[in-house]
């Protein structure tokens, strides 16, 4: 089964591909670049599901007939910031901001907050759209906290600041072997992979299902 990924984020594509391979799923993940690139999407929804759906719909419009498309939207939600950066995680420091700029802004925003106020969660929404308007939603979450400084060289986004619950290291220090087992994206993707293994024919006719 071929699925096109509605993302221009190379790191995100590599992570999803790695998890698919590790789970021995007979899916070929095609990049948006293979059909001319990801169309511009104004990610103006207030939920990860809403933004992921917009990205999936935008790419589906330019895909060959009969295609399936997968979109991801994710970010870090800090409890004392009422869920921010949230859906604006990639643009927290401004439009087209870098990971480093976003991390520095988050550190500055939380500069005076003690450990007890630095609780956070990484959240991920995957939306799979089919050629007959089938829609499947898979969500994942990883609880943790925001560190007092950036640590580690692995990963991307806020990985160098996020300490998953039960670990003193950040995602950027833990590496892919552990991150792929406990992350928000791995949880959402595990639900997707289970669906692909067991429910594709049975679920194909339904218009929307959330897992």
Kindly name the residue from 24, 44, 46, 73 that is annotated as catalytic: 73
Q: Which helix (H) or strand (E) holds 196?
A: helix 184-198
The CATH number, out of the four listed (3.90.600.10, 3.40.50.300, 3.20.20.70, 3.90.950.10), of the domain defined by the range 2-210: 3.90.950.10
Distance between CA atoms of 101 and 90, rounded to whole angstroms? 10
The per-residue pLDDT for 203 is 45
DSSP 79: G
- Is 73 tagged catalytic? yes
Domain ranges of the chain: 2-210
pLDDT tens digits, residue range 62-84? 999 889 999 999 999 999 999 99
The residue to which tokens 């901001």 are assigned = 97
pLDDT tens digits, residue range 149-193? 999 999 899 999 999 999 999 999 998 889 989 999 999 999 998
Q: Cβ distance 141 to 211 under 8 Å?
A: no
User: In the chain, what percentage of residues exceed pLDDT 70?
Assistant: 94
| CA-CA-CA-CA torsion sign (139, 144, 146, 147) | negative
The residue to which tokens 């692995």 are assigned = 154
For residue 85, is the peptide bond before it cis, meaning its omega torsion is within 30 degrees of 0? yes
> Model's pTM, two decimal places?
0.88
Look up residue 126 and give its two tokens.
């995957």
């Amino acid at each position: 089964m071929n699925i096109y990924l509605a993302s221009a984020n190379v790191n995100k594509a590599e992570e999803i591909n790695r998890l698919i391979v590790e789970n021995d799923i007979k899916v070929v993940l095609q990049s948006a670049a293979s059909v001319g690139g990801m169309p511009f999407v104004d990610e103006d929804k207030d939920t990860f599901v809403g933004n992921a759906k917009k990205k999936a719909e935008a790419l589906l419009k330019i895909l060959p007939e009969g295609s399936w498309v997968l979109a991801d939207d994710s970010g870090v939600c800090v409890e004392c910031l009422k869920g921010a950066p949230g859906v604006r995680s990639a643009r927290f420091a401004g439009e087209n901001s870098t990971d480093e700029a976003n991390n520095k802004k988050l550190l500055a925003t939380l500069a005076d907050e003690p450990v007890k106020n630095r609780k956070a969660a990484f959240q991920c929404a995957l939306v799979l759209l089919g050629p007959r308007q089938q829609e499947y939603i898979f969500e994942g979450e990883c609880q943790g906290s925001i560190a007092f400084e950036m640590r580690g060289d692995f990963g991307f986004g806020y990985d160098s600041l996020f300490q998953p619950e039960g670990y003193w290291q950040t995602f950027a220090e833990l590496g892919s072997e552990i991150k792929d087992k406990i992350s928000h994206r791995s949880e959402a993707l595990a639900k997707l992979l289970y669906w692909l293994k067991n429910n594709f024919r049975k679920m194909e006719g339904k218009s929307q299902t959330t897992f």
